[in-house]
Chains A and B, each alone.
Chain A
Amino acid sequence: MTLLLALLLTLGDDPMAPLLAKLRETAAKSVVAIDVEREADPDGITGGGAVSQHRDYYNRPKGPTSGVIYEDGFVLTSRFNVSGTIRKNGLKVTLWDGRQVPGEFIGSDEQRDIGLVRIDVKGLPVLPRADASAIGQGTFVALLGRSPDRSHATVNVGILSATSRMNKTAVQTDAEMNYGNVGGPLVTLKGELVGVACNIKPDAVWGQSGGVGFACKTAEIDKLLERMKKGEHIPAEKRPFLGIRAGEGNPDVEGIQIVDVMKDSPAEKAGIKKEDVLVELAGMKITDSESLKEALEPRKIGEEVELKVMRKAKEGWQEKKFKLKLEGKAEP
């Protein structure tokens, strides 16, 4: 067997293939598929603007998502995968050997986008942990998930793109991440757990499979594991937000080029439009996203602030002023 591997390494077309084959054989045994049946209409949705606040329900593709055996009897996944009002006995976990068992969503952390599911099965393999000091930007990683028919593991390869994301709680990878494999484990090519894939949601600007994916670090999960086991659902801290998406600057006007205004956001309600350039907020000059952050930080949710934007008209750039009431939003 070893000889065969050695031969493969020297003769094979793709030297990575045997490593990935091994991941599919061994590490994949810790990867589960998660099926969730939700109530058709969650409480409190009466239509209209509420739809955008419950995109988890409306923009969620069909099919199973992924999770990882984190401790004996506990599955860790992306919170998004198990959010919403789940029907009675509506959460099913499919193990590597095809067994389907009921699961119970017991705890979560909104900020880190992680959720804990308990299953009544013991003795499943738990992945070894990667040594955080031995990995860094440029380390090859693989993102494991379960196929749509739940029968086998999926493997997407990439590198660690960054190690300090989401307030240092997550790593970033260019392994393609989408609705199916989010919640699965991000591992080294030796099958050691780096983190749990998270933060691919309908409203994430990085979209899916765009080369920007995140995995909550194991050290961060461990910090909250006991609380989640006790049934705690930790809400994300809300921050003041405008509802604009910043572009890459404008050659004519110094400020933030607005490339998108989010639906039902404070910016949209105030009348700010796509293509406007934001130049001032509450008297503070805005030159880039950092200065916007600095200007927003001391403000309170519910506070009214004045915005100055430049809008392109036939006669050239025109200054416009808007007043808006800041709303709170949990930023990832």
Chain B
Amino acid sequence: MTLALALLLLAPQDPVQDLQQKLRAVVDKVKPAYVFFGNGSGVCISSDGWALTNFHVSGDRNGQRVRMPGGKQYLADIVGFDPLGDISLCKLRDAKDLPFCELGDSDALEVGQNVIAVGNPFLLGNGSWEPTITFGIVSALHRYMDNPGYFDAIQTDAQINPGNSGGPLITLDGKVVGINGRIDIKRFMNRVNTGIGYAIPSRQIQRYMEAFKRGGRVFEGFIDGIQIGECGDSRYETTGEYGDGVFIARVDADTPGGKAGFEPGDIIFEAEGYRIGNANRFHGVVSNWPEGATIRVKVRRKAEEKELKVFLGDPAKILERKRALEALDLGFAPEAGMRVGAIQPGSAAAKAGLKQGDVLTRVEGRRVGSWPEFRALLRPNAELTLTVTRDGKDVEVPLRVPRPKSDE
């Protein structure tokens, strides 16, 4: 009898044993890509050291000390960040051949599906540098919360605690489908998991990735120039059912919303293939793209259905931010081959001690190969250490980046 049971347990068709094998295999695969990030977590998503974490874990300071399992240290630079959506994209300096975990498709998740969370709850892994693995299911999808803006969160009962923030939520095929962030705490004076944890979905992160890599703060998308409502508006009561879409109460001309062709009375019921039933979901879907993106939105207008293309964000503000960054006058002429040209007396470059003929190689220890790349690393009012080659030697130059004019 015991023998028979043992055989049953070992037989590959045993679903428990099957799940056990999958679980051990996925833990072995993904654990090495985990990043101990300050008092939180992160995950490496490429072999050359791109890593994701929460903004509330990383902030935007460059050169933070992080560790990989086993304790190897790296310095992390925060390249792109979204404080509202609570995501930061970082780059580990001088990283190569790192173990990493690919981003998966959070749209393919199903409620009830098994997932694991990798993290460092209560910083228990500090010292042994062994992260914590917890196991659970996807409890719900498309959860909406504001501040911080978890507008389209995955809810999981895989136990997530303080210190898990920024760590990955992973499917049993070893893909990152979310970045774990906030938890619901209902215990007095005690920040401990209650079976409700939230993760930012991987699809949203993928859509932000290009903007993150360009560097600096990334803003969430929204449809400028339309005012929406759910119910309480008499016109809505006659044109749609509650939960069946969002009603457009007003459209301003000469805005992206107006230009896209929205009209008052339209009911938005879908965007980019996602069904939109209410205002929270509308917000959740639209903020899945960063500002500057263009998305397709479907509306019902009387008996008709229409698909409209709309630009996300306020173009004037986007332009203003772009100009402000471009206008940052460091006071030198950039030349080919990363060579520093003529220097204006009294400029930031002159104060830093840059000399004509210097060849710029690094910013804050990070290699830069082009001027746009250099631009992307500039933060208004930041102190950056530049490394230049001068007379065949590496020289470090402290540069104070001025504030853009629009900030003052």
* A and B interact physically: yes
Taking beta carbons and an 8 Å cutoff, which residues of A are in contact with B? 1-2, 5-6, 9, 15-16, 19, 22, 136-140, 158-165, 168, 172, 174, 189-190, 205-208, 210-212, 246-252, 254, 256-257, 259-260, 287-290, 293
Q: Is B162 an interface residue (CB 8 A)?
A: yes
Contact A251-B125, Cβ < 8 Å, known A159-B135, A211-B159, A288-B65: no
The complex places the Cα of A208 from the Cα of B61 at a distance, in Å, of 35
Tell me, in angstroms, the Cα distance from A252 to B56 when the chains sit together. Answer: 10
Q: Indicate which residue in B59, B123, B134, B161 contacts A246 across the interface (CB closer than 8 Å).
A: B123
Would you call B39 and A161 a contact (CB within 8 A)? no
Contact in complex: B124, A248 (CB < 8 Å): no
Other-chain residue from A15, A164, A208, A246 in contact with B39 (beta carbon distance below 8 A): A246
Interface 9-residue window, one of B20-28, B270-278, B354-362, B384-392: B20-28
Query: Given A2-B4, A165-B124, are A139 and B20 neighbors across the interface (CB < 8 Å)?
Result: yes
**Bound Cα distance A210, B61 (Å):** 32
Residues of B near A288 (CB, < 8 A) are 38-39, 65
Q: A246-B39, A246-B123, A290-B126 are in contact. Are A137 and B159 (CB under 8 A)?
A: no
**How far does the Cβ of B29 sit from chain A's closest Cβ, in whole Å?**
11
Report the minimum CB–CB distance from B7 to chain A (whole Å): 9
Is there contact, CB below 8 Å, between B1 and A1? Answer: yes
Give chain B nearest CB distance to A78 CB in angstroms. Answer: 18
Of A172, A189, A205, A251, which contacts B59 at CB under 8 A? A251
Closest residue of chain A to B124 (Cβ to Cβ) is A165
- Contacts A137-B130, A174-B158 aside, 19 further interface pairs with beta carbons under 8 A come to A138-B24, A159-B23, A159-B133, A159-B134, A160-B133, A161-B132, A162-B130, A168-B128, A172-B132, A205-B192, A206-B192, A210-B159, A212-B193, A248-B40, A248-B165, A251-B55, A260-B189, A287-B65, A288-B39
A16 to B17, CA, bound (A): 10
Mark contacts of B121-165 with chain A using CB atoms, 8 A cut-off: 1 yes-contact digit, 0 otherwise.
Answer: 111111110111111100000000000000000000011111101
**In the assembled complex, B60 has its CB within 8 A of some CB on chain A:** yes
A16 to B23, CA, bound (A): 15
Contact partners of B14 in chain A: CB under 8 A = 9, 15
Interface residue from B38, B121, B128, B193 paired with A249 (Cβ < 8 Å): B38
Confirm or deny: B9 has a beta carbon within 8 angstroms of a beta carbon on chain A.
Answer: yes
- Please give the number of chain B residues whose Cβ is less than 8 angstroms from any Cβ of chain A in the complex: 59
B287 in the interface, Cβ–Cβ < 8 Å? Answer: no
Q: How far is the CA of A140 from the CA of B4 in the complex (A)?
A: 21
**A212 with B24: in contact, given A16-B16, A161-B132, A247-B162 (CB under 8 Å)?**
no
User: In the complex, what residues of B have CB within 8 A of residue A206's CB?
Assistant: 121-122, 161, 192
What are 30 A-B pairs with beta-carbon distances under 8 A?
A1-B1, A6-B8, A9-B15, A15-B16, A16-B16, A137-B31, A137-B130, A138-B20, A138-B27, A161-B134, A162-B130, A164-B128, A165-B128, A205-B192, A206-B122, A207-B192, A210-B161, A210-B194, A211-B121, A211-B134, A211-B160, A211-B161, A212-B159, A246-B39, A247-B39, A247-B162, A249-B58, A287-B65, A288-B39, A289-B126
| B195, chain A: closest CB distance, angstroms | 8
State the 4 A-B residue pairs at the shortest beta-carbon distance, nearest first: A211-B159, A207-B192, A210-B192, A251-B59
**Inter-chain contacts of A138 with B (CB < 8 A):** 20, 23-24, 26-28, 116, 133, 135
B189 surroundings in chain A (CB, below 8 A): 260
Residue A190 contacts which of B9, B128, B158 (CB distance < 8 angstroms)? B9
Known A-B contacts A9-B8, A165-B128, A251-B59; the reply to A137 vs B162 at CB < 8 A is no
- A9-B15, A159-B23 given as contacts; is B56 within 8 A of A248 (CB)? yes
Which residues of A lie under 8 Å from residue B160 when comparing CB positions? Answer: 211
B187 close to A (CB within 8 Å): yes
Contact indicator per residue, chain B 104-117, by CB within 8 Å of chain A (1) or not (0): 00000000000010
Measured CA separation A189–B38 after assembly (Å): 36
State in angstroms the CA–CA spacing of A159 and B127 once bound together: 22
Interface residue from A162, A249, A256, A260 paired with B57 (Cβ < 8 Å): A249
B406 contacts the other chain (CB 8 A): no
**B189 shortest CB reach to chain A, Å:** 8
Contact (Cβ within 8 A) B161 A164: no
Distance in Å: Cβ of B273 to nearest Cβ of chain A: 34
Q: Is the CB of B187 within 8 A of A251?
A: no
B39 lies within 8 A of A2 (CB): no
Q: Which residues on the A side are within 8 Å of B23 (C-beta)?
A: 138, 140, 159
How far, in Å, is B234 (CB) from chain A's closest CB? 45
A256 nearest CB neighbor, chain B only: B39
A12 to chain B, nearest CB (A): 10
B238 on the A face (CB < 8 A): no
B18 and chain A: residue at smallest CB distance? A15
Q: Is B405 an interface residue (CB 8 A)?
A: no
Pick the contact of B161: A6, A208, A212 (CB < 8 A): A212
